[in-house]
Structure 1
Amino acid sequence: MLQTIKLEHILFLDIETVPEFEDFNNLDEEKKSLWEAKTQYQRKDDFNAEQFYNRAGIWAEFGKIVCISVGFFNFKNGDRTFRLTTFKDEERTLLQQFSELLKEHFSKPQHLLCAHNGKEFDFPFIARRMLIHNLPLPLKLNLFGKKPWEVPHLDTLELWKFGDYKHFTSLKLLTNVLKIPSPKDDISGSDVRNVFYNDKDIARIVNYCEKDVLAIAQVILKLRQEKLLEASEVVSVQ
């Protein structure tokens, strides 16, 4: 049961991704052809491959991670805090930093990773990009040979589905229906590409990503029917 998991054993996370290159024409001819073939079904006759390239960030083969935000609970002397931090360097470096965090602090059997739609997006995206950069997979992302009940991942979308596999609920909608307070954001996921390449404002993306991590933690608290975090309990460490 969810209530039996110690909150301090969970690492909450979210990633923000963009196309690997700013412009479609930065791809070599073979990669352009592969992109065209990969997206043919999604594009149909509505867009050509170049017009569709601004969506390349959702595929690990054509996108890259620009930040990974993480959060974890800390209980000390009866006080509860939720600490947030973000890795936002060059992709290979931030992946190494994230891997070190897992190795040093979240590698034991009781530790879990938690994200919203993480099993379909965040976890495999991180693992694929690590392999592309020839980095070793951390134990918590190496799922080869594991049985479903051995996978150390929590997914708030999966928890909310209650076995209804055709159902999708965005994190924004879920926080709304669960009455979890959420500050208004000035960007959405579809804006991240432009904010990164055009505005070159990584701080704005980090702020957006950390809000999602906090929201995921709040959802877990709500599903456990526990008191939500207050602003005074949240600490952002840069």
Structure 2
Amino acid sequence: MADFLDQLGDILFLDIETASQTEKFEELDPRLQEEWIKKERLIRLENPSEVPGSLYFDRAGIHAEFGQVICVGVGFFQSKKKDKKLIFRSKIFADAEERELLLALKALLDKKKWILCAHNGKEFDFPYLCRRMLIQGIQLPEPLQIAGKKPWEVRHLDTMDMWKFGDYKHYTRLELLAAVFGIPTSKDGIDGSQVNATFYLDKDLEKIKLYCLRDVEVTARIFMAMHPQLDELEIEIVHAEDSKKDHKD
């Protein structure tokens, strides 16, 4: 177990929250408007009579070409072997300017050879961050540089991928895994479908940041639940943003 605890400290758990690039479709760059309408035609095949651009507010945020990163939550474990305790330190990156947010995240990712872990990270979080960084003219930090690497050289973990055990037929929500493992929900007051409205209409980034941090913690707890040999360890949560401690078993 000692070796695993040493390796655990190299894992950076991560979650991103995204929004559409602009609040209104009409505010989007005209060239991107044309491209969105083409993409939208594929999305709304079942209801082609909808007004072009009508899906932008609800759907653009999940596409890196039409969206933006509004906050990134990260967390990692520190081991106190003598006390049989793990301290989970988490932090949120958020900025009115996406480029500044991504630069701050890059600075953290460049500090050490992190192993990145997210739920559905291989299909969403990691590629989304790569695309937005390149769009913002930012060189990719080493943990996100996967071009030319062999699969076993890519230091990316994905709790959804881990749960599949080779079964690629189904998408498994983070909330479902939290429920089956008895982990408290992160969807208290907001869920992913409400992020864009909370950001633009409610202008409540603080609520989104809290939701993002909870998702990071839930992802980390799911990862730990998949390693039951660590059940005896107590987990202490420390949020770097406000330095307040939340003790949990």
Report Cα offsets for 1:131-189 as digits up to 9, x if no partner. Answer: 00010001110111011111110000000011111111000011111222336510110
Which residue is equivalent to 2:30? 29
Q: 1:157 & 1:56 partners in 2: Cα distance? A: 23
Q: How many residues align?
A: 231
Aligned counterpart for 1:217 among listed residues 217, 220, 224: 220
Matches within 5 A, 1:43-54: 43-46=44-47, 47-54=50-57
Q: Contact 1:99–1:138 at 8 Å: present in 2 too?
A: yes
Residue 99 of structure 1 aligns with an amino acid whose one-letter code is: K
Matches within 5 A, 1:31-110: 31-46=32-47, 47-54=50-57, 55-76=59-80, 78=83, 79-89=85-95, 90-104=97-111, 106-107=112-113
TM-score for the superposition, normalised by structure 1: 0.92
Secondary structure in 2 matching 1:67? strand
Which residue is equivalent to 2:240? 237
Q: Residue 33 of structure 1: CA displacement?
A: 1.1
Which residue is equivalent to 1:196? 199
Q: Contact 2:76–2:88 at 8 Å: present in 1 too?
A: yes
Which residue is equivalent to 2:19? 18
Deviating above 4 A after TM superposition, structure 1's stretches of 4 or more consecutive aligned residues are: none
Specify every segment of 5 or more residues in structure 2 that has no aligned partner in the other structure, as ranges: 242-249
Q: Contact 1:218–1:228 at 8 Å: present in 2 too?
A: no
Q: Residue 29 of structure 1: CA displacement?
A: 2.6
Q: Residue 36 of structure 1: CA displacement?
A: 0.8
Which residue is equivalent to 2:116? 113
Q: 2:177 & 2:18 partners in 1: Cα distance? A: 22
Residue 236 of structure 2 aligns with an amino acid whose one-letter code is: E
Q: Contact 1:221–1:228 at 8 Å: present in 2 too?
A: no
Which residue is equivalent to 2:8? 7
Q: 1:66 & 1:183 partners in 2: Cα distance? A: 18
1:144 aligns with 2:147: yes
RMSD: 1.7
Q: Residue 35 of structure 1: CA displacement?
A: 0.3
TM-score for the superposition, normalised by structure 2: 0.88
Q: 2:186 & 2:158 partners in 1: Cα distance? A: 22
